[in-house]
A and B are shown apart, each in its own frame.
Chain A
């Protein structure tokens, strides 16, 4: 006699990660921090973008970096030159950051500093266009980078990343004249999937477009802190 039964589970596979992400975000909100999750394929220019961002904004905003894309301490050392806390996360061989790893980073930040002093936490994710998009870490906005050398078709091939992004930075724009690349096609391909995304073309080398990027960050910080204050009242 063999009788089988059914048990409904109806739970998202990423349920635990999502709960962790919500928990991280609650902490950020409590401390008045805006968190940006920065994602791209390896070599799209996340670290150099962070360098430029820290150099330009560190006197206006109190910034900390959670550094997930680490092969060595070299990246973290590059960023520490700007005198902001850089918290390295040991991702092992993981292909993405998850909310638990970022919680570890937040824990370190809260122990070594007064977290309420910070306005902005920049999370540099592991270089990968696929899975970081599925694992929320507690960010308020997602930023994707796509360098002009990667080709126009990437938004179509890795749609989830580009569909989830709130801001897309087309990087290394100074190289465009030397490549057979159609920038309008990149934009059109992204817009097919995500009509609302803010698209900014930048070059960390010539500084083109960086002011727009800094303005976008400042707007997010202002917008978010207004919301955070409103919910606390």
Chain B
């Protein structure tokens, strides 16, 4: 399952970002953009993410996957069309092959939503109380 490898890459990228922050951030949501004309299955990606983030700083973080449809542009007809994946990719009007893909090949980490947990002093206080 290649979604496992992609999830590893995703986690590493987010980890880099996390460690580069001057203040401690709590990541709440990761936004991904996944085109329909890729080999990635969003459900498998969600599953792999859930499993691989267990007991890590990303546990419980929501993964929001935006599905991007396959859209091609036909140069003969000068118009965009939506190929039917698995059935027909050429232009429905003139049957020209699918040459110019306008969207659907995306595999991108778009953005992160996070909050700042400014609680270093509070943690210290609790430690003193425990003693």
Contact = CB atoms under 8 A, between A and B. Distances in A.
Contact of A195 (B37, B39, B97): B97
Contacts of B109: 9-13
B110 interface: yes
A87 B77 CA distance: 49
B115 A192 contact: no
A135 B107 CA distance: 12
22 contacts: A2-B115, A3-B115, A3-B116, A4-B28, A4-B115, A5-B25, A7-B17, A7-B111, A9-B13, A9-B14, A10-B110, A12-B108, A13-B32, A13-B40, A13-B108, A15-B9, A17-B9, A156-B86, A159-B37, A159-B89, A160-B39, A192-B89
A9 B112 contact: yes
A11 B20 CA distance: 16
Interface of B: 1-2, 5-6, 9-10, 12-14, 17, 25, 28, 32, 37-40, 85-90, 97-99, 107-116
Given A131-B2, A194-B97, A195-B99, A4 B37 contact: no
A225 B40 CA distance: 35
A26 interface: no
Given A3-B116, A95-B2, A134-B40, 15 more contacts: A3-B115, A7-B17, A7-B114, A9-B14, A11-B13, A13-B108, A94-B5, A95-B1, A130-B2, A133-B39, A134-B107, A160-B37, A160-B39, A191-B97, A195-B99
Contacts of A9: 13-14, 17, 109-112
Contacts of A12: 107-109
B39 A192 contact: no
B2 A13 contact: no
Contacts of A13: 6, 9-10, 13, 32, 40, 107-109
Interface of A: 2-17, 94-96, 98, 130-131, 133-135, 156-157, 159-160, 163, 191-195
Contact of A192 (B98, B107, B113): B98
A159 B89 CA distance: 9
Contacts of A135: 2
Contacts of A98: 5
Contacts of B32: 13
Contacts of A157: 86
A38 to B, nearest CB: 18
**Which among A16, A96, A160, A192 has the greatest number of chain B C-beta atoms within 10 A?**
A192
B79 to A, nearest CB: 17
A196 to B, nearest CB: 8
Given A4-B115, A131-B39, A193 B97 contact: yes
B51 to A, nearest CB: 16
B116 A96 contact: no
A94 B3 CA distance: 11
A193 B2 CA distance: 23
**Which among A4, A7, A15 has the greatest number of chain B C-beta atoms within 10 A?**
A7
B34 to A, nearest CB: 8
Contacts of B113: 4-6
Contacts of A14: 6, 9, 107
A95 B37 CA distance: 19
Contacts of B12: 16
Contact of A156 (B17, B40, B89, B112): B89
